[in-house]
Amino acid sequence: MTKRHFFGTDGVRGKMGEDPITPERVLKLGWAAGRVLGVKDGSPGKILIGKDTRISGYLLESALECGLSAAGVDIRLLGPMPTPGIAYLTRTARARAGVVISASHNPYDDNGIKFFSSEGTKLPDDVEVQIESMMEEPLVTVDSLHLGKAKRYDDAAGRYIEFCKSTFPSRMNLSGLRVVVDCANGAGYYIAPLVFSELGADVIAIGNEPDGLNINRECGSTHPQLLQQTVRETGADIGVALDGDGDRIVMVDATGKVIDGDQLLFIIALERHAQNRLRGGIVGTLMTNLGLEKAFTGRTIPFARAAVGDRYVLAMLNEKGWELGGETSGHIVCLDRSTTGDGIIAALQVLAAVVGSGKTLTQLTADLEIYPQTMINVRTTRRFDVKESSEVQQAVRKVEKELADKGRVVLRASGTEPVVRVMIEGQDAGQVERLTRELADVVRRAAEKAA
């Protein structure tokens, strides 16, 4: 397969104003995507565009719209909308594709473009290669008679809200629960609080005043301290934190204790297992805590690890015919509910377990032993490959020898930013922290030499 130059593990992403996130490049990307995805059997269709709350979303939306129109494709504009909401609306509106303008959990000055197929799933690698190949062709605008038209999608938010609510058991409600919802000043700022309140919860919304610059800033799933503080101060029962594009969550209990993606996956899986509704096993990733794997295997629940990235979790779920998987970071995929990871829907599955059992989040995770795990992000150049560094590989072997069979080492390059993630887990927290710092220093020095 031809190597992709622009598409990473989660679409095209980078610093706004720097290649490939420039008006010119994104316009051409829109045209190329329109040619590959928007035209079928010689007949143009429609493509949906949604975005998060970054200030650059206005510019990139216009550039995409221009490129798609030039390709002869009609456009439906969704405005700010969680990524999984765009996937859902793409499928139900019978669109040819959906486009998301977002850099997820990254700072406001990053942005990105990713696509959903007409089925609301991430594009296969070969289709992304087709789009990249089309970008090498001269941009030819269709005749004026066939230019694409753009208009707003009526009641997009309302439709997605109703869909989210439909994934919560009809016999239940959230009455009596005080829930703090941290929207990360992102795409879910309007939708998420309404979903929980319409199901009966007493909702306290925070991170729901986006200004284009404050997305993910000291709030949301990557910065849960604000959520922890608010839950404690308000006497709430539970806190839910989304990321900037709404496809991942973390939660906190009434004491402010963080419940991460591994623990949330444990709650959902055991609730389904107890009700004989768990189809097959669970898919985690290379970063999934070893304690979660042992908890599942000890209950004879099959468990498999995919590469990091929700696209790989999805691919393995489809390959095995399973329905439930996720990442420590809070991407939870429930294929019986949605075609992609969805923070709001995942939270509702957890809340269904809380309401149905009458237990707290802490009680529901009491039987899960989480192994101490430390991760350090080492900033590098994009061309640095840890596998090609003998210095790094020698250090890894030394760490693995010290851990013996009581821990794991994972080094992986991020697919969304120029960092290498150095992760070590084991039974001794002090040892894990020390070894992670030492290995991260080796990676940092090797990366500086390579630069």
Q: Are 34 and 48 in contact (CB under 8 A)?
A: no
Burial class (CB in 10 A: 0-12, 13-18, 19+), 430: exposed
DSSP string, 258-284: EE-HHHHHHHHHHHHHHTT---S-EEE
Measured CA to CA in angstroms, residue 263 lies from 46, 354, 427 at distances of 40, 13, 18
Measuring CA to CA, which residue among 113, 99, 107 is closest to residue 21? Answer: 113
**How many C-beta atoms lie closer than 10 Å to residue 438's C-beta?**
14
Q: Which of 56, 69, 104, 389 is catalytic?
A: 104
Question: Is 104 marked active-site?
Answer: yes
What single-letter amino acid sits at 375?
A: M
Question: Beta-carbon neighbour count of residue 419 at 10 Å?
Answer: 17
User: Which residues, other chains included, contact 383 with Cβ-Cβ below 8 Å and sequence gap of 6+?
Assistant: 450
Do strands 249-252 and 258-259 pair parallel, antiparallel, or not at all (unpaired)? antiparallel
The b/e string for 145-183 (b: 16+ C-beta within 10 A; e otherwise) is eebbebeebeebbeebbebbbebbeeeeebeebbbbbbb
Closest alpha carbon to 149 in 257, 1, 44: 44
So which residues are the catalytic ones? 104
